[in-house]
Amino acid sequence: MQAWERPRSTFHWGQKTYIMGVLNVTPDSFSDGGQFNTLENAIAQAAQMIEDGVDILDIGGQSTRPNADEVPLQEELDRVVPVIQAIRQKFEIPISVDTTRSQVAKEAIGAGADIINDISGAVFDSEMLATVGKLHVPIILMHMRGTPKTMQSLTQYENLIDEIVEFLRERIESAIAHGITQVMIDPGIGFAKKYEQNLEILRRLEAFRSLDCPILVGASRKSFIGHILDQPDPKKRVWGTAAACVSAIANGADVVRVHDVAEMRDACRVADAIWREKKEV
């Protein structure tokens, strides 16, 4: 895969694992809702993640937890745009915006964001791919079914991995047709996936290499980890998350999307030393 040369960073895929830090400026996200939904708290959290070694900040203004309701467009804009502007005034860190709306994508890039992260695979908004193509920025396309409100009732697959691969292949082709030259894929752990299906994705992550795009894995604090650990509190799933991230790296992930940057930085550095760095014999 070719490196992504962006104004604020160059991503050399395969050389290291990049860490995307989650910054939810929402009142209702599943593990940190309400913590960072003021400008002051969001900037402080961004600064802490940068100090801890994050590579990309992923800013989201709408919860995508199971059963979440959609927020009005203007409310999403009011949440994310001022935060992006404030962070951009202080830091040169690459920023992705977690949105399914082309208008949010456009205004976020105008405010200083660099990448669009669309959990719907750019399905929810028919203008998303055309908008991103005109903006000349990368897009992250994730697999899911339904909406956050309905997705957990849509978990029946005849062949889980093949169906996800084919969905992503079609979305990649559509993105390219709209002039988008840099596409990342995300198999969508926890989105219309049951416990065993999430584990299967992690075990068979290498199957997505056939799509020839960087692979993002977002397992951080998710319920399948809580199920394994019998841990209902998402904030206490840090080391379970680390194990999931290491597994993802061993099987080909390029980016891990996480809440606990400092801890995952250590886990990724050790995993990279084992699986990525060539040793002299």
The residues annotated with a catalytic role in the active site are 222, 257
Cβ-based burial of 264 (10 A; exposed 0-12, middle 13-18, buried ≥19): buried
Burial 14-41 (b: 16+ CB within 10 A, else e): eebbbbbbbbbbbeebbbbeebbbeeee
**Tokens for 232?**
């209902």
Nearest partner of 98 among 173, 15, 186, 35, judged by Cα: 186
Helical (H) or strand (E) element with 24: strand 18-24
What's the count of helices (H) and strands (E) in the chain, helices before strands? Answer: 9, 10
3-state secondary structure of 206: helix
